[in-house]
A and B are shown apart, each in its own frame.
Chain A
Amino acid sequence: MPEPTLNSYLLLSAVLFAIGTAGVFLRRNLITILLSIEVMLNAVNLTFVAVDRFRGSVDGQIIVFFVITVAAAEAAVGLAILIALFRHRESLNPDAFTSLKW
């Protein structure tokens, strides 16, 4: 079993990120899409921590801290919007909310 290097961490986060994006495109449920976005965020966090470890600094962890905080805010507002949307159309399918166009 090979010893994990920085690269393996970065690769892992890349895969994670890709999974997240795929979820954003694939899912037809806004909640799940938000979850996928969280996955992407965490992929980035992993990169930060890994590089942090590599450079022996703490800035990465601090940035992770900020990312998480902002993610919390994002989730709160996003879910609130989601609830408001659901009240208007009994659906969470993003394709149901295409009225904001030409």
Chain B
Amino acid sequence: MDAISFWAFAAILVIASVLVVGQRNPMHSVFLLIVSFAALSGLYVLLGAPFAAMIQVIVYVGAIMVLFLFVVMLLNTPTEEAPAGGPIRRMFGAGPRHFGAVLSGVFAVELALALRAASTTLPGTDRGTPTPTVYDIGVRLFHEYGFAFEATSVLILVAMVGAIVLARREAR
């Protein structure tokens, strides 16, 4: 049961992400990303972290992605402009970008190898172990991580002000 759902979620996740970066329409990208987030939160639930899953959905899907949506609608740039110039120039112009893609592939392989280098026989995430409750998280968050919490809130405040200042159309 868990196995099935894991592979299902994983598949959705990977495919959605690939599509996010794989096509040119930002609107579609946004929605695909939402899908991948949903899959991710599914994985969190599997990992016995429903809290994280819900936070993921509430904050990412409920807030951040809406923000992206607004910007996409506001700027209304449906698809990114196709690379300029003839085929050759396009090829070479695109050179570094493709190189980057290849590089990231290499990176993935490296990580995979690193994991293999580590013993593959890690104990599975069996459902037997008790899942930490929201209560535990809260206690720890507000004690050990109290300062970080406050700092983050300040950061958000700053970000808010900054965003408003930056995006405001200066009056003239």
Q: Which A residues have a C-beta under 8 Å from some C-beta of B?
A: 1-12, 14-29, 31-32, 34-36, 38-39, 42, 45-46, 49-50, 52-54, 56-59, 61-62, 64-66, 68-77, 79-84, 86-87, 91-93
Contacts and interface: CB of A to CB of B under 8 A. Distances in A.
Contact of A32 (B29, B152, B159, B160): B29
Q: By CB atoms of chain B within 10 A, which of A12, A58, A62 has the most?
A: A58
Contacts of B115: 7, 10-11, 14
Given A26-B101, A42-B37, 9 more contacts: A16-B13, A19-B14, A22-B100, A25-B103, A28-B97, A32-B80, A54-B122, A75-B67, A79-B163
B17 A16 contact: yes
The list of the 4 closest CB pairs from A to B, nearest first, reads A25-B100, A23-B21, A18-B108, A73-B159
Provide the main secondary structure of the chain B interface: helix
Contact of B6 (A8, A42, A82): A8
B156 A73 contact: yes
B63 to A, nearest CB: 6
5 contacts: A19-B20, A25-B101, A35-B68, A72-B64, A83-B71
Provide the main secondary structure of the chain A interface: helix
Interface residues of B, number: 86
Given A14-B108, A70-B155, A92-B80, A83 B166 contact: yes
Contacts of B75: 31, 82-83, 86, 92
B105 A18 contact: yes
B125 A54 contact: yes
Contacts of A1: 3-4, 7
